[in-house]
Structure 1
Amino acid sequence: MANELTVLKLEECLDALIDYRGKTPRKTDFGIPLITAKVVKAGRIETPNEFIAEGDYETWMTRGYPQIGDVVLTTEAPLGEVAQIKFLPVALAQRIVTLRGKPGLLDNGYLLYLMQSQEMQAKLLGRSSGTTVTGIKQSELRKIEVALPRLSEQRSIAHILGTLDGKIELNRKQNETLEAMARTLFKAWFVDFEPVRAKMEGRWQRGQSLPGLPAHLYDVFPDQLVQSELGDIPEGWVVGSFADAVDIIGGGTPKTSVSEYWGGEIPWFSVVDTPAASDAFVVKTEKSITQAGLNGSSTRLISKGTTIISARGTVGNLAIAGCDMTFNQSCYALQGRNGSGNYFVFLSAQRMVEQLKSMAHGSVFSTITRQTFEAVCAVHPPVSVLHQFEESVASLLDPILRNVNESHSLALLRDTLLPKLISGELRITDVEYRLEA
């Protein structure tokens, strides 16, 4: 296929290169979303959390307006993250350049995957400069050589890889909805005590179903609230320490100097493996250990479904183990006891983290210790309620795990196909046949 490729400098393939480096916009609490280097991750633009005023938009965007389909590239801190603009209007921050393929020569979808390829990433790094912060100048970026197949093949490659990414994105959005519904259900049952209040106010009658409250749950809940040190709580429920609901397990790290301890089949979780909040489950970790590493260290093997919480450094990150795994000493594993199920523990830990942040007046709390779990007060429902909740919330969280596993498989397929398609090792007809099969 080499004789079918056209080799050009990147600048010769672009219709536009928009660069706002050296400028700092006046940021506001709301307005036009600002795309910063912090929100360009793993091939997508995460929800922006910084904005510029609508009135400043025209005066700020004097170097050019982005369009749907344009490819954004982070030029430093970090270098080489790539994504495609899917919504407008957006403003562009420092450390971001926007690339637009020249019509008839370079397809924007293909450009997205071309810039993610190992070959292009290596070229970016090779032309970078800086010691403390590695970055690439626009003049160097323009000089990078690219090898382009014919336009029809570019579009086919972008379509195949984009279809995989589209399914991953659909799973992510489904997970966002399901995780939010799970949090809402937890809050209704264990914070607002909505089932009890509905009975007290006559809104829920025996044999009747309400949203989130099937008729068969009617007798599980009491019909009145009683006073406690935490305020009114359902009759028969008790107040205790958060630690009463969980067994707290510490982690560990096998000696890094012993090569036989690393690279095995046992996942080893650290804070870098924290999934997106909506995904909840971690199914793949950056590092893994061997059985010898497990036996020769203080790390512990926890079962699928166990909650992991980061306790030092980056504090309060949560994940549910999507398979049996180990974890480092900067985390705790929380396993339910006294009737507390896996999902009740995870959602309770979410509420605990929110409470800790509130107690710290919005600042980042630096450490979670065993004493922290003991100091946080919580309402403990009876086992009958806990069992019913676990059954109800499983219908929301189990599909998240299936989606996460599917997305992981799709990402592996995409990452396998991408370099082969970009290099021409695989032809489009070969891939289409394999995908259909």
Structure 2
Amino acid sequence: MPPRLRLTAVAFALASLNALPAQAAEPPTATTQAVHCGKLFDARSGRILGEHTVLVRDGRIAEVLPGRAKLADADSIVLSDHTCMPGWTDLHVHLDGESSPQSYSEGFRLDPVDFAYRSVGYAEKTLMAGFTSVRDLGGDVTLHLRDAVNQGAVKGPRIFAAGTSIATTGGHADPTNGFNTHLAHLMGPPGPTEGVINSIDDARQAVRQRYKDGSDVIKITATGGVLSYAKSGDAPQFTVEEVKAIVDTARDYGFRVAAHAHGKEGMRRAILGGVTSIEHGTYMDDEIMRLMKQHGTWYVPTISAGRFVAEKAKIDGYFPAVVRPKAERIGALIQETAAKAYRNGVKIAFGTDMGVGPHGDNAREFLYMVEAGIPANVALQAATIRAAEVLGVDDQGVLEAGKRADIIAVPGDPVADINAVLKVDFVMKDGKVYRQPRLDIPAQ
């Protein structure tokens, strides 16, 4: 289906959700909530602090008090044996799908409406896992999903959506890769409207189209990719001048640019072109790391996706033949690259590429980061204050007065035992509680 018709169908699908009873769309309560935390993770310092009380009013943090404050006019939420943290942010997700052996044929068999409804469940799973914000890096569905979440029709994280990724002809995000000649001719060559560029003028037009579509961020595919129906997973796919045209135009509209990149030369061009972040970064070497530090470029490793595709590449028939060798070769390297980047002082933020792996398992990335030698507190900072820096927002990522009341909690101490991140049982976003520990009621 042509992208324009696909967007229209998605809009109708998610618009239908807005016709549901609007109980979720009620404004936040004005009642003060007192969240009593046995411990509190200070994202600025990366330290676990002792008992604190977080006061929440009108969806914002009103005050953070040491100890267990007693307030007669506040509704108490008692998390005495928990560590409270700012809600996590996953900087690389794809909420419009999830990998399976059928993924490559579903685009021909399913309607955009099917993908829209699936995305609703993926969004809720992500929120319930403790991720109150995500940056969705590619997918028509999530522009509309974002709006449905903001309107209160759908439970999900705050979504910073890229919409359609920007690629070159035959590049990782070219939507016609793998099409037979007849179908490709029938559809016609994709252009900037569909996210495919081949010149500086195309680059500018593609960014402006993303603005028209309502995107929050720009995603480019600076090199080949693992899962695209194409041979190369690491060849460079833009010139420096094309990247610079994208970045400069994006800046006019207040966009930041994330660059999918596996190969060294594509990373080099993306960094010189001024992108905000490098995603995956598989073949990053010392030269690229020096360049990233020099330009202040962020690194989002997505170890989860690497491990997932390397594992699935061992299964006959899971991936098409052209994809399988890339998945086996590239996927296995990302965790090692993340370890080197941390040792070399590259700025690291949290992202998983979920949609490749199963939504809701995002927190396993923390475990993989720690396995790579990244300290647990640094990994937690990567998903809180550092992620906010990548997004360019200053109202989330820390538990401080005036910030969004995005609060999650886990039993125990996640810095002492990183496995605690898999046990999120309290989730508050914008002052609304979506998940809380079940009370044990004695048998009568």
**Shared topology, TM-score over 0.5?**
no
Q: Could you state the TM-score of these two structures normalised by the residue count of structure 2?
A: 0.25
- Greater relative contact order (Cα < 8 A, sep 6+): 2
1 or 2, which has the higher helix percentage?
1
| Structure whose CA Rg is larger | 1
